[in-house]
């Protein structure tokens, strides 16, 4: 049997990291087994589905390198893989289930249902649908239907009964049918519910394994019942543990960004995100947290996914991002830095400026955890009139010893023979000795005067890249401003 798995996002919002993790696990499983990874778009909720969100899904998966073999955008034997294009098929299946007696029309109005639900609750009975219209009989149902009375179609859940399945992650799961009401397949406006559309697609697309979030666990017996009524073969299910924040509560906006886009835009490398997300419910090896895509593919197994909640910890992710940034080939890092610096400056870099970025690149690469930190560590190179970070200025420049330190630095740096970091350092250290200043008192003013802030790449190398002329010009400008 060839594995066929799918990810089925609804384009009603930005791709959530939880869904991205589900996509990753499905992709890894497909790549490990030589199977097929399918992207389906669940856009039956036309009012809330937006093109922009579908785009976000495609871009997000592409960014993570999760290529799909069939589905939206790439095609395949089953049409467009968009549910909105398959409404006829869902209606057809509903018709077949009606004809076979596995489904029935229900004419109960929302207010009647509401009233009966309240009554049931007051009497301590389960609040689900009570099955009233199941007893109507075909003749009566047909008559009311023809008269144009609004109706939904419900599945006739076999009673008594039990649905069990062997979940790859959770082992045997059991649902008594007493706990499943006759749920809706088709709404009164003719639109299919998620349960119907998703199940019909899983059957038609011959999905072999459904790996999705544990929040859908209680939907699974419904899907198995529909599959059975359709005469389809039931896929193997794997319910992935939900994501929690570091405080042990279910991951939500309270914890910070939950969309993949926020991380795409936030200076994270897709390689780091990929690696980190692998660890959300799975582990490569107890002691190994950093590994390549190929290693993950080689080892990944759905049956090794843990039942325990997975903690999504942005701090750990940031740490891992730093590891990945430092491991980049310096040329690769610089290629990624160019556009970020140009974006920040709002113009293209000249050839000479690009050389400065190349020269400073390795020093910055060692110091950032996010690519978004790169521009602030580089753009000071290219500012005509340097803007100073206010706090840095107050803390460092308004100190008694700063004027004499700047004066001495200007004299000594004017006299440096060759403008290289080692000689610049020798001169400035001699200045510290002469004025009996420690590095903080003597060198920080030079840093703020030349880079605008106390946070910058190492000073002597930075001055070398900045060049003698600009360095002296900036030191004098800062001295004059004191
Ligand atoms: N469209 C559903 C969702 O985004 C798909 C769930 C499933 O994988 O069945 O939650």
C-beta separation of 238 from 302 below 8 A:
yes
Pairing mode, strands 103-106 and 310-311: unpaired
Ligand 1 center to 7 CA (angstroms)? 7
pLDDT category, 33, cuts 50, 70, 90? Answer: very high
| CATH code of the domain in which 234 resides | 3.40.50.620
Residue whose Cα lies nearest atom 4 of ligand 1: it is 9
CB 417 within 8 A of CB 468: no
Alpha carbon distance 407, 396 (integer Å): 15
Asked, for residue 220, whether it belongs to a domain, the answer is yes
Atom in ligand 1 nearest the alpha carbon of residue 215: 10
Q: What is the mean pLDDT of residues 327-356?
A: 96
Mean pLDDT, residues 68-89 taken together: 97
- Say if 424 falls within a structural domain: yes
Please give the DSSP secondary-structure letter assigned to residue 82.
B
pLDDT tens-digit map of 153-178 = 999 999 999 999 999 999 999 999 99
How far is ligand 1, taken at its centre, from the CA of residue 135, in Å? 32
- Ligand 1 centroid to Cα of residue 97, in Å, is 23
Q: Say if residue 349's pLDDT is above 90.
A: yes
CB 42 less than 6 A from any atom of ligand 1: yes
Mutate to test the pocket of ligand 1, among 9, 86, 197 (most ligand atoms within 8 A of CB): 9
Query: What is the number of the ligand 1 atom nearest to the C-alpha of 7?
Result: 8
The residue whose CA has the least distance to atom 10 of ligand 1 is: 9
Displacement of CA 6 from its chain's centroid (Å)? 17
8 lines ligand 1 (CB under 6 A): yes
- pLDDT > 70: percent of the chain: 100
Residue 18 CB–ligand 1 contact under 6 Å: no
Q: What is the pLDDT of residue 230?
A: 98
Question: For the residues of 247-290, what is the DSSP string, one character each?
Answer: TSSBP-GGGS--BHHHHHHTT--HHHHHHHHHTSS--SBTTB--
Average pLDDT for the chain: 96
Question: What is the mean pLDDT of the segment spanning 30-43?
Answer: 98
What pTM was computed for the model?
A: 0.92
* Residue 168 within any structural domain of the chain: yes
Q: What is the position in ligand 1's atom list of the atom closest to the CA of 210? A: 8
CA of 301 to the centre of ligand 1 (A): 21
The answer to the question of residue 429 being in a domain is yes
CATH number at residue 476: 1.10.10.350
Residue that terminates a domain, selected from 240, 264, 299: 240
| pLDDT of 328 above 90 | yes
Spacing, Cα 25 to ligand 1 middle (Å) = 14
User: For 172-197, what is the mean pLDDT?
Assistant: 97
Q: From the alpha carbon of 9, which atom of ligand 1 is closest?
A: 4
Please indicate whether residue 198, judged by its CB atom, sits closer than 6 Å to ligand 1: yes
Model confidence at 103: pLDDT above 90? yes
Last residue of a domain, one of 205, 240, 275: 240
pLDDT at residue number 381: 96
CB atoms within 10 A of CB 469: 9
The half-sphere exposure of 422 on its side-chain side, counting CA atoms within 13 A, is 1
> Residue 318: inside a domain, yes or no?
no
10 Cβ closer than 6 Å to some ligand 1 atom: yes
- Mean local confidence (pLDDT), 180-197: 97
Helix H or strand E segment including 406:
helix 402-415
What are the C-alpha distances in Å from 327 to residues 290, 332, 479? Answer: 11, 10, 40
Q: Which domain holds residue 417?
A: 390-481
Spatial distance between the Cα atoms of 190 and 152, rounded to a whole number of angstroms: 8
The answer for residues whose C-beta is within 8 angstroms of residue 461's C-beta and 6 or more apart is 360, 363, 421
Q: Is residue 20 a part of any domain in this protein?
A: no
Q: What is the mean pLDDT of residues 123-131?
A: 92
Specify which residues 162 forms β-bridges with.
176
State how far the Cα of 356 lies from the Cα of 345, in Å rounded to an integer: 15
Positions annotated as catalytic residues are 253
Mean pLDDT computed over 132-155: 95
Q: Tell me, what's the pLDDT at 455?
A: 87
Measured from the Cα of 223, ligand 1's closest atom is 9
Per-residue pLDDT at 256: 85
What total number of domains does the chain contain? Answer: 2
Report how far residue 192's alpha carbon sits from residue 387's, in angstroms, rounded to the nearest whole number: 59
Burial classification of residue 94, based on how many CB atoms lie within 10 Å of its CB (0-12 exposed, 13-18 middle, 19 or more buried): buried
- Locate the ligand 1 atom nearest the alpha carbon of residue 19 and give its number: 4
Ligand 1 centre distance from Cα of residue 295 (Å): 28
Q: Which of 7, 25, 42 to mutate to test the pocket of ligand 1 (most atoms within 8 A of CB)?
A: 42
Phi, psi of 331 (to 5 degrees): -65, -35
Instruction: Report pLDDT digits (tens) over 219-231.
Output: 999 999 999 999 9
Helices (H), 123-242: 138-146, 194-204, 220-230
Please give the distance, rounded to the nearest whole angstrom, from the Cα atom of residue 8 to the centre of ligand 1.
5
pLDDT tier for residue 480 given thresholds of 50, 70 and 90: very high
Confidence at 1, pLDDT banded by 50, 70, 90: confident
Give the containing element (helix H, strand E) for 156.
none
Rounded distance between C-alpha atoms, residue 356 and residue 378, angstroms: 9
In short, whether 212's Cβ falls inside 6 Å of ligand 1 is yes
9 lines ligand 1 (CB under 6 A): yes
149 has a pLDDT exceeding 90:
yes
Q: Which residue is closest in CA terms to ligand 1's atom 5?
A: 8
- Which of the residue ranges 182-186, 201-205, 384-388 would you say has the lowest mean pLDDT? 384-388
Please say which residue of 240, 258, 293 terminates a domain: 240
pLDDT in tens, 430-476: 999 999 999 999 999 999 999 999 988 999 999 999 999 999 999 99
Nearest-CA residue for atom 6 of ligand 1: 8
Among 81, 86, 194, the mutation site with the greatest number of ligand 1 atoms within 8 A of its Cβ is: 194
Q: Can you tell me which atom of ligand 1 is nearest the CA of 213?
A: 8
How do residues 250-292 score in pLDDT, each as one tens digit? Answer: 998 888 889 999 999 999 999 999 999 999 999 998 888 999 9
Q: How far is the CA of 9 from the centre of ligand 1 (A)?
A: 6
The CA–CA distances, whole Å, from 435 to 287, 423, 482 equal 51, 19, 19
Predicted pLDDT of residue 94: 98
Is the bond preceding 333 in cis, omega lying within 30 degrees of 0?
no
Q: Is residue 205 part of a domain?
A: yes
Q: Is residue 359 part of a domain?
A: no
pLDDT for position 362 = 95
């Amino acid at each position: 049997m060839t594995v066929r798995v799918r990810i089925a996002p609804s384009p009603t919002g930005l791709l959530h990291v939880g869904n991205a993790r589900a996509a990753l696990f499905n992709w890894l499983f497909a790549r490990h087994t030589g199977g097929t990874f399918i992207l389906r778009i669940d856009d039956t909720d036309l009012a809330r589905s937006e093109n922009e969100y579908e785009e976000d899904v495609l871009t997000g998966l592409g960014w993570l390198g999760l290529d799909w073999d069939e589905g939206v955008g790439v095609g395949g034997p089953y049409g467009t893989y968009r549910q909105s294009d398959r409404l006829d098929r869902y209606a057809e299946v509903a018709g077949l289930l009606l004809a076979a007696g596995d489904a029935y029309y229900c004419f109960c109005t929302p207010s009647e249902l509401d009233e009966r639900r309240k009554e049931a609750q007051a009497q301590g009975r389960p609040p689900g649908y009570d099955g009233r219209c199941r007893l109507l009989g075909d003749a009566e149902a047909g008559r009311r239907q023809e008269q144009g009375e609004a109706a939904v179609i419900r599945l006739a859940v076999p009673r008594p009964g039990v649905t069990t399945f062997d979940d790859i992650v959770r082992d045997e799961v059991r649902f008594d049918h007493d706990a499943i009401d006759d749920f809706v397949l088709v709404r009164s406006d003719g639109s299919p519910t998620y349960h119907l559309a998703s199940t019909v697609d899983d059957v038609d697309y011959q999905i072999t394994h459904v790996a999705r979030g544990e929040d859908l666990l209680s939907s699974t017996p419904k899907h198995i019942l529909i599959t059975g009524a359709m005469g389809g073969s039931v896929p193997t299910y794997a319910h992935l543990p939900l994501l929690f924040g570091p405080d042990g509560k279910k991951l939500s906006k309270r914890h910070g960004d939950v969309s993949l886009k926020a991380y795409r835009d936030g200076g994270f490398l897709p390689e780091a995100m990929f690696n980190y997300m692998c660890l959300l419910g799975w582990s490569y090896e107890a002691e190994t947290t950093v590994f390549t895509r190929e290693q993950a593919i080689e080892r990944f197994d759905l049956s090794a996914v843990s039942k325990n909640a997975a903690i999504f910890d942005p701090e750990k992710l940031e740490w891992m991002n730093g590891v990945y940034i430092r491991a980049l080939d310096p040329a690769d890092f610089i290629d990624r830095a160019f556009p970020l610096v140009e974006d920040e400056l709002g113009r293209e870099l000249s050839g000479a400026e690009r050389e400065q970025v190349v020269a400073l690149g390795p020093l910055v690469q060692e110091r950032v955890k996010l690519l978004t930190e790169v521009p602030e560590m580089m753009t000071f190179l290219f500012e005509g009139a340097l803007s100073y970070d206010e706090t840095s200025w107050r803390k460092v420049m308004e100190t008694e010893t700063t004027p004499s330190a700047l004066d001495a630095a200007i004299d000594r740096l004017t006299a440096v023979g060759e403008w290289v970091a080692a000689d610049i350092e020798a001169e400035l250290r001699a200045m510290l000795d002469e004025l009996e200043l420690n590095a903080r008192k003597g060198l920080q003013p030079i840093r703020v005067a030349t880079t605008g802030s106390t946070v910058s790449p190492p000073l002597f190398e930075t001055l070398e890249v900045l060049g003698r002329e600009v360095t002296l010009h900036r030191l004098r400008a800062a001295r004059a401003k004191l």
